[in-house]
Chain A
Amino acid sequence: MTAFVRNQWYVAAYAHEVGRDLLGRTILGEPILLYRTEDGRPVALADRCVHRRFPLSEKPSRLDGDRVVCGYHGFTYGTDGVCVSVPAQRRIPRTARLATYPVVEQDSFVWVWIGDREPGDTLPPRAPWLDSSDHTVVCGMEPLDADYGLLVDNLLDLSHETYLHGGYIGTPEVAETPITTEVDDKSGVVYVSRHMDDAECPPFYAKSTGIAGRITRWQDIEYHAPCLYLLHSRIAPVGAPGPNPDGSDPHAFHVEVVYGITPSTEKTTYDFWAVARDFALDDQRVSDFLRENNHTVVMQDVVALNVLQKALDTEKPGYQELSINIDTGGLAARRILARMAAENAAPAEAGVR
């Protein structure tokens, strides 16, 4: 199993999922309750009542203003987790308090900090396209019955497109393109670029961008371990100027594919996926196509990784794998995850006993 990395921000939900209904999510094995106060602030508390551990995200638990009322015997908690009333008595036990989690709303996600220390100035990595008026976004979330490490492996190697997603996203040129992998060990970033200089324009892009003729197609993976994966996909007519030093790139069309990789339990993972584009912004058919296409691709991965996890469960410890060139980025990610997990082990695990 891939060890969890504590002291990190994780995507807990889309901002639009967190509202005046109680939402429960388990992140790194910790059950978390999410809701929004009357003035719109997201709150994250432990999702277990201190009394008899009833899940506060389950009916008939409910909100009373900004307070959460346990559906079992009525213990009531404020947004700071402190219990403000218990049934049938005045005295509230001093220890009646729910753990609270630091929360940040950024780039259309609600992020929760899981760790043993406070985040301080640390903010989650960015995916600004998801909350930008220059982009149109389609998105979803699929629960995966597999170790999050299997999803990281999967996303860092795009050569599986040709097989697992044949006919959906693979193009023949993909297999004949040089790949450069860059690794910044310290900041925990893996960058895999694949720049195709002269490729056929898939019919969907020809139609939605108006490009006639052949294209340059860049696929740049940027993985911020452990939680966020970005696939920058750039399409431009062959011969068009490249991006400017300031990052602007007016001659190309961009699709930004974003994955929030959130380990839930040892063998379950939340697979948040979103696709942002900077062309055909108001074209509903383009949105429908991208949603349908990406959902299909995500589900092909989910089904395959669920099967793989089941198979791995039957393996003896220390089973063998064989890595080849396409695994260069994935191996880098595994190493970084192992290092981060060791540096941030929970105090109990890191203790001397």
Chain B
Amino acid sequence: MNALHPPALTGGEVYRIHWVLGTDRLLAVCHCGAEHEFEDPVDVWEWLLAHPDGHRPFDDPAGRDPGEEAP
């Protein structure tokens, strides 16, 4: 057997949303590297699409509310 198995998306502007195992939370990761956890997929999309508003260029383990002013 030698089947095609395409890799997952590799483009430059890919949004990723991980459903955190064992929880009800969604971890949204923007293509800029910013991350934020949510409990509702509608909020996830609001935040992702607001890029760069409320996004930081690197991971932000503390998590910040969407819309919060950048320091």
8 A Cβ contacts from B6-23 to A? 6-9, 11, 13-21
Quick one: which of B1, B20, B26 contacts A328, CB cutoff 8 A?
A: B26
Q: Residue A222 at the B interface, CB < 8 A?
A: yes
| Complex: chain A residue closest to B16, CB-CB | A182
Per-residue CB contact flags for chain A residues 283-319 toward chain B (1 = under 8 Å, else 0) read 0000000000000000000000000000000000000
- Complex contact B15–A183 (CB within 8 A): yes
Contact partners of B26 in chain A: CB under 8 A: 325, 328
A335 to B6, CA, bound (A): 24
| Complex: chain A residue closest to B26, CB-CB | A325
8 A Cβ contacts from A252-301 to B? 252-254, 256, 278-279
Contact partners of A189 in chain B: CB under 8 A: 9
Q: Residue A351 at the B interface, CB < 8 A?
A: no
Measured between C-beta atoms, what is the minimum distance from A237 to chain B in Å? 13
A184 to B10, CA, bound (A): 9
| Complex: chain B residue closest to A324, CB-CB | B41
- Complex contact B5–A279 (CB within 8 A): no
- Complex contact B17–A181 (CB within 8 A): yes
DSSP class of B's interface residues: helix, strand, loop or mixed?
loop
- Given A191-B9, A232-B5, A249-B5 in contact, is the A328-B14 Cβ separation under 8 Å? no
Contact partners of A327 in chain B: CB under 8 A: 41
- Complex contact A222–B41 (CB within 8 A): no
- Complex contact A328–B2 (CB within 8 A): no
- Given A249-B3, A325-B26, A328-B41 in contact, is the A178-B9 Cβ separation under 8 Å? no
Q: Residue A180 at the B interface, CB < 8 A?
A: yes
| Complex: chain A residue closest to B41, CB-CB | A328
Q: Residue A241 at the B interface, CB < 8 A?
A: no
A220 to B13, CA, bound (A): 20
Quick one: which of A232, A248, A324 contacts B2, CB cutoff 8 A?
A: A248
Quick one: which of A134, A254, A331 contacts B41, CB cutoff 8 A?
A: A331
Measured between C-beta atoms, what is the minimum distance from B26 to chain A in Å? 6
8 A Cβ contacts from A238-255 to B? 243, 247-250, 252-254
- Given A222-B6, A249-B5 in contact, is the A180-B18 Cβ separation under 8 Å? yes
- Complex contact A179–B19 (CB within 8 A): yes
- Complex contact A182–B14 (CB within 8 A): yes
Measured between C-beta atoms, what is the minimum distance from B71 to chain A in Å? 28
- Complex contact A247–B5 (CB within 8 A): yes
Q: Residue B69 at the A interface, CB < 8 A?
A: no
Contact partners of A335 in chain B: CB under 8 A: 45, 49
Query: Which 9 residue pairs across A and B have the least CB separation, nearest first?
Result: A178-B21, A254-B3, A328-B41, A181-B17, A243-B5, A278-B3, A183-B15, A179-B19, A184-B11
Which residues of A are at the interface with B, using a C-beta cutoff of 8 A? 128-129, 134-135, 178-187, 189, 191, 193, 220, 222, 232, 234, 243, 247-250, 252-254, 256, 278-279, 323-325, 327-328, 331-332, 335
New A-B contacts (16) at CB < 8 Å, excluding given A178-B19, A247-B6, A278-B3: A129-B3, A129-B4, A178-B18, A180-B16, A181-B19, A182-B17, A184-B9, A184-B11, A191-B9, A247-B5, A252-B5, A323-B42, A325-B24, A328-B41, A332-B45, A335-B45
